[in-house]
């Protein structure tokens, strides 16, 4: 009996096997698909950076725009020789370090507190997290006019009611005032990250430690704190990048003063560009700020990366 071979036709709408893209073909297509996003990213980041570098080497002042020319490193020399630059650098580092210390320490303590069961915990969480959703300009106005104003602010009224003298916070304690405002804004962020991490901690491990006679401080230092090592590293990295560019709070409350007491690098660049009309000097300050931010981020990455991989 002769065997008959039946050839199956490909189903309607199906692609023959020889027409499917090979692995090498897919690898060749991938760069083409990524090209538009890469080009847009380059235009949005490299072009402003190159223009900043170009302006930093120019003698360009908006008061006399016709007087311009190539200055090379003169803008950087004037910037480094300006005492206001070193004040702004010190203020920037002080502001970042202080806010990080406050938000990490109190964020950890609040996360441990809100991880416990107590009446009204949901409402309390809502009130604590609410400042994170307030815009920086609005937050600065609340603290400046509603809380810290020496005449009609809440703190001033309370001081007079208890027989004290109201404090002009932004004149006498300007840096402390900014630290309080920024800490109030960023504490909810720290709390959210750390509280989420705490909820993933094994409750049986904590219960076993309690049954073994470990006290609250021992359980916190030996179980809770090591578990929060990675989320604390993330909080430090994220907050540092944003705090280096803090501007709105300074602009609304102190305008960098008194003198240069609260001028950070971001406000110094603004003052050079839009108050002194020195575009070249402002661009040089921008380049220095970019270098400083990258140095800090690289140092933090070297310290934090092992914690994230652990």
> Model-level pTM?
0.84
CB 68, CB 59: distance < 8 Å:
yes
Q: What is the pLDDT of residue 23?
A: 61
CATH classification (class only), 74-309: mainly alpha
Q: What is the pLDDT of residue 7?
A: 47
- Rounded to whole angstroms, the Cα distance separating 146 from 149 reads 7
Q: What is the pLDDT of residue 24?
A: 60
CB 246, CB 43: distance < 8 Å:
no
CB 258, CB 171: distance < 8 Å:
yes
Give tens-digit pLDDT for 188-240. 999 999 999 988 877 777 777 777 777 778 878 888 888 888 899 889 999 99
Domain boundaries, the chain: 74-309
Beta strands in the chain (DSSP E): 58-60, 68-70
Give tens-digit pLDDT for 276-303. 999 999 999 999 999 999 898 888 888 7
Give tens-digit pLDDT for 43-74. 888 888 899 999 999 988 888 877 788 888 99
């Amino acid at each position: 009996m002769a065997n008959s071979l039946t050839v199956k036709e490909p189903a309607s709408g199906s692609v023959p096997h020889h027409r499917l893209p090979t692995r090498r073909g897919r690898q060749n297509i991938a760069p083409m698909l990524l090209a538009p996003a890469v080009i847009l990213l380059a235009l949005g980041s490299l072009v402003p950076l190159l223009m900043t570098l170009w302006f930093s080497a120019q003698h360009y002042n908006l008061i006399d725009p016709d007087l311009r020319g190539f200055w090379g490193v003169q803008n950087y020399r004037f910037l480094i020789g300006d005492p206001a630059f070193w004040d702004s650098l010190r203020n920037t580092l002080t502001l970042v370090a202080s806010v990080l210390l406050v938000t990490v320490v109190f964020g950890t303590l609040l996360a441990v507190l809100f991880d416990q069961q107590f009446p009204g915990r949901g409402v309390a969480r809502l009130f604590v997290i609410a400042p994170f959703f307030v815009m920086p300009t609005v937050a600065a106005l609340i603290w400046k006019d509603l809380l810290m104003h020496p005449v009609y602010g809440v703190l001033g009224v309370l001081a007079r009611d208890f027989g004290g003298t109201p404090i002009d916070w932004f004149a006498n304690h300007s840096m402390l005032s900014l630290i309080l405002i920024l800490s109030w804004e960023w504490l909810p962020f720290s709390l959210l990250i750390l509280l989420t991490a705490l909820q993933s901690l094994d409750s049986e491990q904590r219960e076993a430690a309690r049954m073994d006679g470990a006290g609250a401080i021992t359980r916190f230092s030996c179980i809770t704190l090591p578990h929060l090592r990675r989320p604390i590293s993330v909080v430090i990295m994220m907050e540092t990048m944003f705090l280096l560019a803090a501007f709105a709070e300074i602009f609304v409350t102190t305008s960098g003063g008194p003198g240069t007491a609260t001028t950070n690098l971001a406000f110094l660049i603004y003052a050079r560009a839009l108050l002194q009309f020195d575009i070249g000097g402002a661009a040089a300050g921008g380049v220095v700020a970019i270098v400083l931010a990258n140095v800090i981020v690289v140092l933090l990455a070297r310290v934090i990366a092992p914690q994230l991989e652990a």
